[in-house]
Homo-oligomer: A and B are copies of this chain.
Amino acid sequence: MSIHAVSADDPVPPENHRLLRALLRQPVDMTPVWAMRQAGRYLPEYRKVREQAGSFMQLCTTPELACEVTLQPLRRFKLDAAILFSDILTIPDAMGLGLRMSDRDGPQFEHPLRTAADVSRLGVPDPEDRLRYVLDAVRLIRRELAGSTPLIGFAGSPWTLATYMVEGGSSKEYARVKGMMFQDPVTMHRLLDINAHAVTIYLNAQIDAGAQAVMVFDTWGGVLTPRDYREFSLRYMRQVVAGLKRESDGQRIPVILFTKAGGLWLEDLAASGCEAVGVDWTVDMSEARQRVGGRVALQGNMDPSVLYASPDRICQEVQAILDSYGPGPGHVFNLGHGVHQQTDPDRLAVMVDAVHALSAKFHSPASAATSQAG
């Protein structure tokens, strides 16, 4: 596999500003579209690189390989965004918890946090030191993209990182992390504060390296009660948002917050200071839009399982979601969760093309010029 280097002879591709404009609720010509986990195991070309790398972590920590798999879906699909190929658990790994990815059991930490003493030993890693491989990947991807498509950086939410750090891996009932939360809230708050600092400087380093928008994945905020969500998850995402650089090279850097299964708390998310809120498929876009009341853009919300359906059925679902959001800017089309591993890549192409073809009528023709040429 070779990476195509940009040379002075290459024509500069036209810039695609749809994503960044939509996140800032500015007019666009078509609804922008990308897919969570658009780089991944459902792509045969990804599986080839993953095999060459030997392990998932080797793939993540080798900037050339991370760059290559980031760009793969953009060669297949007319996506309006690239998203850095990495993992939300790079931060706890850099803190010394020892991340290992098992095909059967998912992520596993060699040194999970079980006591207040474990948490007290934890430090905030310097991204330019122990996470340099991520920043090198961001720099390389930006160079390769050469302005053709914007690049999204990301991190896990402080609470979501804490669930893995305390449980030691994936969990069904969150007994350990909730046990710590209820039995020793002081330690839990200390851990979340450390995570919030680590996420903030990590995302700022990604922005400095070239990320043009950043997304915080709160995969497990939805397992909390509303009170606990506000106290243990949302509060620390607000802390992250407040600490982020919001401009780089004269461009505004939009922030997307996504709490999976957080459909009941959209109003709280919309008031957090972010530019956009991700929504899974359990809430209709019309209801979500009405509830956030024009304060933020919305990103979502097709059930990834729809990609098992026929092309006609996929187009029908795309239409239903576009209809539900309705006319005007502020919608970034996406899946409500990552692309499933068993997905046929051609079905994702159907979705991407359908979003563009079916959404133009929701946008005024006058916005075409600005979206295409910036």
Using a CB–CB distance below 8 Å, which chain A residues touch chain B? Answer: 173-175, 178-179, 181-183, 222, 224-228, 261, 263-264, 281-284, 287, 303-306, 308-310, 313, 320, 340, 342
**Once the chains bind, are A342 and B227 in contact (CB under 8 Å)?**
no
- Tell me, rounded to whole Å, the shortest Cβ–Cβ distance linking A334 to chain B: 14
- Tell me, rounded to whole Å, the shortest Cβ–Cβ distance linking A200 to chain B: 27
| Chain B, Cβ-Cβ closest to A183 | B309
Contact of A282 among B178, B226, B310 (CB under 8 A): B226
Most buried by B among A174, A264, A283, A287: A264
Known: A181-B305, A183-B310, A261-B282. 12 other contacts (CB 8 A): A173-B340, A178-B303, A179-B305, A182-B308, A183-B308, A183-B309, A222-B282, A224-B281, A225-B282, A226-B282, A226-B283, A264-B264
Given A175-B340, A303-B225, CB of A283 within 8 Å of CB of B308 = no
Q: Which B residues are CB-close (under 8 A) to A306?
A: 182
- Tell me, rounded to whole Å, the shortest Cβ–Cβ distance linking A262 to chain B: 9
User: CA of A262 to CA of B261 in the docked complex: distance in angstroms?
Assistant: 10
- Tell me, rounded to whole Å, the shortest Cβ–Cβ distance linking A171 to chain B: 11
User: CA of A256 to CA of B227 in the docked complex: distance in angstroms?
Assistant: 26
* A interface majority secondary structure: helix
Q: Which B residues are CB-close (under 8 A) to A264?
A: 263-264, 282-283
Q: Which B residues are CB-close (under 8 A) to A183?
A: 308-310, 313
**Once the chains bind, are A309 and B175 in contact (CB under 8 Å)?**
no
- Tell me, rounded to whole Å, the shortest Cβ–Cβ distance linking A261 to chain B: 6
Q: Which B residues are CB-close (under 8 A) to A342?
A: 175
- Tell me, rounded to whole Å, the shortest Cβ–Cβ distance linking A348 to chain B: 15
20 example contacts (A-B, Cβ-Cβ < 8 A) are as follows: A173-B304, A173-B340, A175-B305, A178-B303, A179-B305, A179-B308, A181-B305, A182-B305, A183-B308, A183-B309, A224-B281, A225-B284, A226-B283, A226-B284, A227-B284, A261-B261, A261-B282, A263-B264, A264-B264, A264-B282
